[in-house]
Amino acid sequence: MNERLFRAARLLAMCLPLCAPVAAAAAGEVDSGDTAWMLTATALVLLMTIPGLSLFYAGMVRSKNALSVMMQCFAITCLVSVLWAVYGYSLAFGDGGELQAILGSLEKSFLVGVDGIAPGGYRIPETVFIMFQLSFAVITPALIVGAFAERMKFSAMLWFVGLWLTLVYVPVAHWVWGGGWLGAFGVLDFAGGTVVHVNAGVAGLVTALVLGKRRGYPATPMMPHNMVFTLVGAGMLWVGWFGFNAGSALAADGIAGRAVLVTQLATAVAALVWMIVEWLDHGKPSALGIASGAVAGLVAITPASGYVGALGALVIGGSAALACFYAVTRAKPAFGYDDALDCFGVHGVGGIVGALAMGVFVVKSLGGVGLPDGVPIGWQVAKQVMGVAVTIIYDGLFTFLILKGIDGTIGLRVTDEQETAGLDIALHDERGYNL
């Protein structure tokens, strides 16, 4: 039995009387409304990766590397899609039998026998469920591009993503959402705070450390080459995130409505807080600042989006902006690692804030949907800490091993000449602009 879905269903039945009539209807049948929304949500999450994220990132690198980050996002999208069909989905969401706590099975590899309804009592075709989950599996490694931008070999990147998806993303997704031990233990993660953002953020930090700094960092100026692209990408991420968070309800119901509302609130507050802090700190608010704050808010509300209310959204958004602001502007320079586009500083830190704060704001008295029967708030927070800690340790370790393995064989980094020339021309024989 799929624990994530079960839990969500349980919470729903407990806490949202409004949705009861919906949930009661026609179990085991596909519902066209839910399916319509999940098809849309899937398209929105794909919009987040390409073009959204690729544009967000492309604008922040130097013009000589703009295509390389977009190419990485495209290649990741393609590679992960195929691996997901071949074994990823089955290992993450298939029935693992005796080993269910640890991993799914290969019974649905190559998408055999997925013509029925989605598992877990949801009223959408399994094909749609697979696609929605695929879109998450795609964006998670794509986020890591922000950490290793401007210096990683393209071939090494492909190996890294393939291995990381298999050894890190698939098991963690299974543990939390696919019926594995973290979900069974009671860790809550509505739309991917730990599975997606902490996971990507920590992998990004490790990658940045193992790969080392870009040539000339931080002495040479490495300004974003096209901030308009970055802002447009941020806008697309925001819009697409509605699919990410409200789609995680796996239905077009009151939970989805709640998710979309708290997502908007948390994002807006986070953007404003970042803007204000920057204004106080530096004397002027910046466009990259407000966009960064928005992304930090989107990240932090993700694990909480179906569970908390307006108050939770405001606090989570605000504190995520503060935490990410200081991570990016103070901690990064202080420690001196080169997380080029702040994959860890925004996704890692924001994801941790959201995953933990959610344990508090899920309670009814703070506007949330309420905790499962009998779970005290402290205990839920402890579970959330557990979920985050496990992800950090497991992810950190395996990311490190994978990178070392690749480095020892084909090598991780481009040559100095290639880096100086820019990856676009050096690795892809193309240039972004011929004006």
Partner 1 sequence: MKFVVAVIKPFKLHDVREALSRIGLQGLTVSEVKGFGRQKGHAELYRGTEYRLDLLPKIKIEAALDDDRVEQAIEAIGQAAHTGEVGDGKIFVLPLEQSVRIRTDETGKAAL
Touching partner 1, residues 330-349 (CB under 8 A): 330, 332-333, 342
Return the one option of a second copy, partner 1, none that residue 329 interacts with (CB less than 5 to 8 A, by type).
partner 1
> If binding is defined by CB under 8 A, does position 346 make contact with a second copy?
no
Residue with tokens 């899920």: 362
User: Of 26, 220, 280, 336, which lies in the binding site for partner 1, with binding defined by CB under 8 A?
Assistant: 220
Return the one option of partner 1, a second copy, none that residue 57 interacts with (CB less than 5 to 8 A, by type).
none
Return the one option of a second copy, partner 1, none that residue 243 interacts with (CB less than 5 to 8 A, by type).
a second copy
Return the one option of a second copy, partner 1, none that residue 330 interacts with (CB less than 5 to 8 A, by type).
partner 1
Instruction: Of 388, 344, 368, 370, give the one whose Cα is nearest residue 10.
Output: 370
Does residue 175 come out as left (phi exceeding 0), alpha (psi in the -120 to 50 range) or beta?
alpha
* Omega cis (within 30) before 51: yes
Cα gap 359→354, rounded to integer Å: 9
Kindly write down the DSSP assignment for every residue of 311-336, as one continuous string. HHHHHHHHHHHHHHHHIIIIIHHHHT
Q: Which is nearer to partner 1, 40 or 63 (CB)?
A: 63
User: Of 26, 223, 280, 334, which lies in the binding site for partner 1, with binding defined by CB under 8 A?
Assistant: 223
Q: How many residues would you count in the chain?
A: 435
Select the span of 6-14, 177-185, 192-200, 269-277 touching a second copy (CB under 8 A).
269-277
Cα gap 140→352, rounded to integer Å: 15
Across the strands, what pairs with 413?
Answer: 152
Select the span of 47-55, 175-183, 219-227, 247-255 touching partner 1 (CB under 8 A).
219-227
Across the strands, what pairs with 117?
Answer: 125
* Binding pattern for the stretch 8-27 against a second copy, x by CB under 8 A and - elsewhere: --------x-xx-xx-----
Tokens representing 269?
Answer: 């507050």
Alpha helix (H) residue ranges in 61-111: 66-83, 89-93
Q: Which is nearer to partner 1, 333 or 405 (CB)?
A: 333
Interface residues with partner 1 (CB under 8 A) are 218, 220-221, 223-224, 282, 284, 286, 288-289, 292, 325, 328-330, 332-333, 342, 420-421, 425, 429-431
